[in-house]
Amino acid sequence: MAKNAWQSLAPIFAFLVTYQGELLHKLLLGGTGLVLVIFTASILSYWFFRYRILDDSILIRHGVIKKKQLDIKFERIQGINTEQNIVYRYLGLVTLRFDTAGSTGSEGNLPAVSRSLAESLRTRINGNPVNGEIANTVTETDNHVLMSLGWRDMVRIGLADRRALILLAFISPLFQREGDRSEQLVSDGMNVASSYGLQFDTFNIVLIGVAFTLVLLLIFALASIAVAFLSYHNFKLLLEQKTLRSVGGLLTRHEHSMDLSKIQTLRLQQGIVQNWLGVYRMTARQAISGGRHAKKKVFDIPVVTAELADQLRRKLLAPEGGTLSQDPLNDQFISISRYYMRPGILFVGVLPALVASITFWTLLGGFSLLFLFWIPVVTTLVFRNWRRAGYLHDDNEIIRRSGWFGYRTVGLLFRKVQRVSVTQSRFQRRKNLASLRLYMASGTVRIPYIDYTTANQLRDYILYRVETSQQAWY
């Protein structure tokens, strides 16, 4: 009912705006319509939803007008996620979602099932025998707690969240539209202050503007931190035999799980604020089919240190891998060739600056030479990107490092690779360099501008490990 209520608000609101009549009649008519729509949609959705659990699969049938039937095999399920909002928490129910290999998002879900059924089904799918009734809550004695987050971590997550900046970008046109009215309000306020003998010079006006900006940024930061508490309050990362599980959330309790054997890549990512705080975001990716729902196939650990990330990857990739350090500051990373900077400096820096200077010479004269300052800016950024680029490998895995303002490392096992390519541009061919690209079920990893012989040796060895491995890539 709550879900259908949110979906019904927009058309009901539009109807009330266009309907001619008194406000009381509008409210009564709108409220009655909303209640009817909610109950009708909820009852029909419930009535036409059926599921059946077989020995090796789950059958789900739903749809009022458009019928849909799913047959989800246990062996294709990569992760089992649950959600528990406030209403479900009070009723002891959860929504169970299944992630399968090759799907863009959650292929199927069972809404409003008991927690005991969800845990029992999770145990069956993971291939473990069910002995008696499963506990309704996750306890530390049943699982090994790898990490937990406190309120300080919520602050770090909130400060590093880019959604506040996105919200600021959306409301900026509103501030611009209200600019004239704000100027008039400021002018009226200064006139009132002048009538009381208060005078404002340029310094005071600038100080007021800076204070207003700081207050606005503080509001956005607090809002972002509040969102972090809603999403990750009491977050715990647990390891149950070979299943990785996370639990967290303030109002809606989210629970995600992923079989360790399904992990394709482990990633450490760091933005500007995270770089300043010295923390990273760690994600484990599983097989995806691409598209705009690819992010839904990611197991997310919102904040970790480099040391904790190495401890986690040793547990997640053991015994086959995990011996390498994914810390981007590790001095064992092998640098790529300096020639990597040449295309960026030439095609992004030099050529655009020269074209702009020549194009605007007749209009701006000598001032058009200011476009040449674009060259050192691009050169600095490209040099910074080259210094952060590198790779590291042993007999079982490889790690790629990159980054502009923060670091990013991607680690993967050789046997997970599906295809390998070695490519050369004309410039790389003259310098005996090549780019190595690894194709995974979760995307691609590219190591550019390395020695051509090294690239071929890595390609042949990776393909050898894939062919000789007795384990499935998925």
For 325-334, the pLDDT digits (tens) are 999 999 999 9
Q: Which domain holds residue 199?
A: 157-231
What is the model's pLDDT at position 105?
53
What is the model's pLDDT at position 81?
85
- Tens of pLDDT, residue by residue over 270-327, are 988 888 889 999 999 987 755 444 455 789 999 999 999 999 999 999 888 889 999 9
- Whether residue 232 is predicted with pLDDT greater than 70 in this model: the reply is yes
Q: Out of 70-79, 355-364, 372-381, pick the least confident.
A: 70-79
- Whether residue 472 is predicted with pLDDT greater than 50 in this model: the reply is yes
* Phi/psi-derived region of residue 63, left when phi > 0, alpha when psi is between -120 and 50, beta in every other case: left
Same structural domain, 374 and 418 = no
For the chain, what percent of residues have pLDDT higher than 90?
41
Going by pLDDT thresholds of 50, 70 and 90, the confidence category of residue 234 is very high
Residues 6+ apart with CB under 8 A from 432: 451, 452, 453
Same structural domain, 58 and 178 = no
Instruction: Give dist(CA 364, CA 353) in Å, integer.
Output: 14
> What HEC string does the chain produce?
CHHHHHHHHHHHHHHHHHCCCCHHHHHHHHHHHHHHHHHHHHHHHHHCCEEEECCCEEEEEECCCCCEEEEEEHHHEEEEEEEECHHHHHHCEEEEEEEECCCCCEEEEEEEEEHHHHHHHHHHHCCCCCCCCCCCCCCCCCCEEEEECCHHHHHHHHHHCCHHHHHHHHHHHHHHHCHHHHHHHHHHHHHHHHHCCCCCCHHHHHHHHHHHHHHHHHHHHHHHHHHHHHHHCCCEEEEECCEEEEEECCCCEEEEEEEHHHCCEEEEECCHHHHHHCCEEEEEECCCCCCCCHHHHEEEEEEECHHHHHHHHHHHHCCCCCCCCCCCCCCCCEECCHHHHHHHHHHHHHHHHHHHHHHCHHHHHHHHHHHHHHHHHHHHHHHHHHHHCEEEECCCEEEEEECCCCCEEEEEEHHHCCEEEEECCHHHHHCCEEEEEEEECCEEEEEEEEEHHHHHHHHHHHHHHHHHCCCCCC
Instruction: Give dist(CA 324, CA 305) in Å, integer.
Output: 16
Total structural domains in the chain? 5
Same structural domain, 167 and 77 = no
- Tens of pLDDT, residue by residue over 92-136, are 899 998 877 655 556 688 988 998 888 888 888 776 444 333 333
What is the model's pLDDT at position 220?
83
Within a domain: 250: yes
Instruction: Give dist(CA 348, CA 378) in Å, integer.
Output: 7
Query: Which residue, among 281, 300, 274, 282, has the nearest Cα to 160 in the 3D structure?
Result: 274
Q: At which of 323, 354, 383 does a domain end?
A: 383
What is the model's pLDDT at position 135?
36
* Mean pLDDT (whole number) for 394-407: 92
Q: CA-CA distances (angstroms) from residue 112 to 1, 51, 82?
A: 12, 12, 10
Same structural domain, 462 and 415 = yes
* Mean pLDDT (whole number) for 15-43: 75
Instruction: Give dist(CA 456, CA 469) in Å, integer.
Output: 20
Within a domain: 31: yes
Same structural domain, 55 and 126 = yes
Rounded to two decimals, the pTM is 0.76
Same structural domain, 445 and 414 = yes
- Whether residue 195 is predicted with pLDDT greater than 90 in this model: the reply is no
What is the model's pLDDT at position 194?
64
Same structural domain, 75 and 29 = no
* Mean pLDDT (whole number) for 448-452: 96
Within a domain: 18: yes
Query: Which residue, among 233, 389, 418, 239, has the nearest Cα to 313 in the 3D structure?
Result: 239
Between 177 and 202, name the one with better pLDDT.
Answer: 202
Burial (CB < 10 A; 0-12, 13-18, 19+), residue 254, is middle
Burial (CB < 10 A; 0-12, 13-18, 19+), residue 26, is middle
Same structural domain, 175 and 248 = no
- Whether residue 192 is predicted with pLDDT greater than 80 in this model: the reply is no
- Whether residue 25 is predicted with pLDDT greater than 80 in this model: the reply is no
What is the model's pLDDT at position 142?
46
Going by pLDDT thresholds of 50, 70 and 90, the confidence category of residue 3 is low
Going by pLDDT thresholds of 50, 70 and 90, the confidence category of residue 13 is low
What is the model's pLDDT at position 133?
36
Going by pLDDT thresholds of 50, 70 and 90, the confidence category of residue 241 is confident
Same structural domain, 87 and 185 = no
What is the model's pLDDT at position 122?
82
Q: CA-CA distances (angstroms) from residue 95 to 82, 127, 243, 347, 450?
A: 5, 21, 19, 51, 48
Same structural domain, 315 and 367 = no
Going by pLDDT thresholds of 50, 70 and 90, the confidence category of residue 66 is confident
What is the model's pLDDT at position 106?
60
Within a domain: 474: no
- Whether residue 404 is predicted with pLDDT greater than 90 in this model: the reply is no
Q: Out of 145-159, 184-198, 432-446, pick the least confident.
A: 184-198
Same structural domain, 64 and 139 = yes
- Tens of pLDDT, residue by residue over 135-166, are 333 344 446 899 999 999 999 998 887 665 55
HSE, side-chain direction, 13 A CA sphere, residue 117: 13
User: In which residue are the tokens 């789950």 written?
Assistant: 58
Q: Strand 57-62 relative to strand 280-285: parallel, antiparallel, unpaired?
A: unpaired
Going by pLDDT thresholds of 50, 70 and 90, the confidence category of residue 340 is very high
Within a domain: 473: no
* Mean pLDDT (whole number) for 63-76: 86
Cis check: omega of the bond before 319, within 30 degrees of 0: yes
Same structural domain, 65 and 135 = yes
